[in-house]
Structure 1
Amino acid sequence: MSSGNVSAVLVHGAWADGSSWSKVIDRLKERGIDAIAAPLPLTSLGDDVAALDRTLERIEGPVVVAGHAYAGAVIGSTRSDRVAALVYVAALAPDEGETVGDVFYRDEAHPQAPQLAPDLHGLIWLPHDAFAAAFAQDGTPRELAVLAAVQRPIAVSCIGEAVGRPLWRDRPNWFLIAGQDRMINPDTQRFMARRMNANVRSYQVDHTPLVTAPDAVTDVIVEAVQSVSAR
């Protein structure tokens, strides 16, 4: 099935940048789908949504937007009419009136999850050893080294802002549940996916499958693109 003129916009989460999507971008290109990684400043939820909207403005035609982790709140907060479907990759999906923190801390943390605290600038950094312990425990040494080297901190304000009516209530959506996630409890992911009435795809992958299991992530995005194209 052709993807037609449907593009993909890929949105990174906390402690990452657009390069985290590089393997998925390659695979989507092989499937005939153009993809752009949206750069987020991670300075506030409002700033991040504005950054996503600027990326969406550059694209002609319908778009499938995929968000990883924290970026689930970002993709759910855009009101862009270019968005035809949403894909949540081990992502957070707060409902109206909720914050990222509300859903992130909903269930018990994994024993190897890092303790997170802001620095003197109100920024939260991921401890270096957390990349191998919890963020991407299935990654190769090289992948872990790159993730740690390019990490970008997230401002405390990002996780404390309540969201409005999320777009997942008004668009078809997919949710990749990461069964071996040590950052976002898989039970939390299942809860969010159920209330979203999402098309659920579950894999025994870590928190960052866009790096460690890119074929699985690509398949879910392609499924969403093809669904939009078939309409």
Structure 2
Amino acid sequence: MSKKSATVVLAHGAWAAEASWGKVVNLLQSDGIKTVTFPLPLSSLADDVAALDGVLAKVDGPVVLVGHAYAGAVIAATQSAKVRALVYVAGLAPDEGETVAEVFNRYEHDNKAPQLAPGADGLIRLPQDAFSSAFAQHASPEEQQVLAATQPPISPACITVPVGRPRWKDLPSWYLLAGHDHMIPAQTQRFMAERMQARISVHPVDHVPSISAPELVQQLIVDAVQQIKG
């Protein structure tokens, strides 16, 4: 890769922390691609975009932004001129005036989808058994246990605020459609991906392919990096 190649910045979603990108980072770095991960506070959409903007301010050169699940809304909200492409990994992509919750619930979820509601502290967590049944059913039992133990909860403030004009209206986008996802229905993913005219890659993977099928995620990101190279 040349010095002009993009840096890949990876944003995690709810319930799968920064470390969930570990396998993908290793693969990308083996390709000579610079990568950056960071934690999202998941306290509000504005807070999460501010955290992303703080990371982008420190990156030199063009950026390919990658967002998993909820973070799809975050990567589309930054106004940084460094961003050259967006990559969605089973990502949520609300349109202007739409909330994350609205697009998440656009089509009916299947019977394996967990019931989501805030706890006593006002934050939304996944039940432990959801990691093996709906969230990361293709991951190993050990990986499922780590995900359950380290899950970052999300505030309703992240998903109930209408978004502004998303960057996918102006930037090229890629979408990994997770066909065996029990968190975001495949029909919902396809609707969003087609609406933003993304380059769609469909695979029979669970909601967290960064853990269960990292090579597929790597391939999609590499394609985006190569398309904007130079």
Q: TM-score, normalised by structure 1?
A: 0.97
Partner residue in 2 for 1:114: 114
Unaligned 5+ residue runs, structure 2? none
Alignment of 1:59-208 (within 5 A): 59-208=59-208
1:27 match: secondary structure: helix
Partner residue in 1 for 2:38: 38
Residue identity matched to 1:113: A
Cα distance in 2 between the residues matched to 1:64 and 1:6: 6
Cα distance in 2 between the residues matched to 1:200 and 1:112: 25
Conserved 8 A contact 2:63-2:84: yes
Cα distance in 2 between the residues matched to 1:224 and 1:11: 16
Show CA shifts across 1:88-135 (max 9, x none): 000000000000000101111121110011012210011000000100
Distance 1:204 1:53, change over 3 A: same
Q: CA RMSD in A?
A: 1.0
- Identity among equivalent positions (%) equals 56
Cα distance in 2 between the residues matched to 1:68 and 1:30: 21
Cα distance in 2 between the residues matched to 1:176 and 1:121: 33
Residue identity matched to 1:21: W
Conserved 8 A contact 1:3-1:225: no
Q: TM-score, normalised by structure 2?
A: 0.98
1:220 is aligned to 2:208 = no
Conserved 8 A contact 1:2-1:226: no
Partner residue in 1 for 2:10: 10
1:124 match: secondary structure: coil
Distance 1:3 1:107, change over 3 A: farther
Cα distance in 2 between the residues matched to 1:140 and 1:109: 24
Cα distance in 1 between the residues matched to 2:169 and 2:212: 30
Cα distance in 2 between the residues matched to 1:110 and 1:213: 22
Q: CA deviation at 1:2?
A: 5.1
2:92 match: secondary structure: coil
Residue identity matched to 1:102: E
Conserved 8 A contact 2:12-2:20: yes
2:189 match: secondary structure: helix
Distance 1:219 1:2, change over 3 A: farther
Unaligned 5+ residue runs, structure 1? none
